[in-house]
Amino acid sequence: MLTLIASKKNAAQVSLPALQAAFSAALIAAGIQRDMAASLKLSDDKGIQKLNATYLGNDSPTDVLSFENAYIDPETGQEYLGDIVISLETAGRQALAHQAELQQELEMLLVHGTLHLLGFDHADPASLDAMHDAQDAALTAIGNPLLNSIAPLD
């Protein structure tokens, strides 16, 4: 289950059912066959820049941040992965650059952030390949055309 945290204006720009499908596809692509939960906060560049500076030491806006906070809710038994923050401003610019719709860009960023919550990374060639394969599998499953969207290592 994905919980959306957004202003009414920002929430109106997205399809929550499509984002939920992207989240579920990421879990399946990672080999997870059980329901899990996470939150998705839609931010602006200023908000995500503050988080990026505070927690990662990078004083610039970015597209997506993932914050692992895994626990099991004692009341529901639901496994919670953590929080994902996406800048709508950066996602909008990237969607234009990719000649895609904002929703498609958000789905791709959500899949990417979810995979990070599940322990995937792209710090070396082997982990990059594994994350790339999982991300593209999830995007293919939901019909999202933004394949090969993880930047290669420098």
Q: How far is Cα 94 from Cα 105, in angstroms, rounded to an integer?
A: 7
At 82-115, the pLDDT tens digits run 999 999 999 999 999 999 999 999 999 999 999 9
Question: Would you say residue 146 lies in a domain?
Answer: no
Question: Would you say residue 50 lies in a domain?
Answer: yes
pTM of the predicted protein model: 0.94
Q: What is the pLDDT of residue 99?
A: 94
Question: Would you say residue 148 lies in a domain?
Answer: no
Closest CA to 65 of 114, 101, 25: 114
Question: Would you say residue 127 lies in a domain?
Answer: yes
Full pLDDT tens readout for the chain, 154 residues: 899 999 999 999 899 999 999 999 999 999 998 889 999 999 999 999 999 999 999 999 999 999 999 899 888 888 999 999 999 999 999 999 999 999 999 999 999 999 999 999 988 888 888 999 999 999 999 999 999 888 765 5
The number of distinct structural domains making up the chain is: 1
Question: Would you say residue 151 lies in a domain?
Answer: no
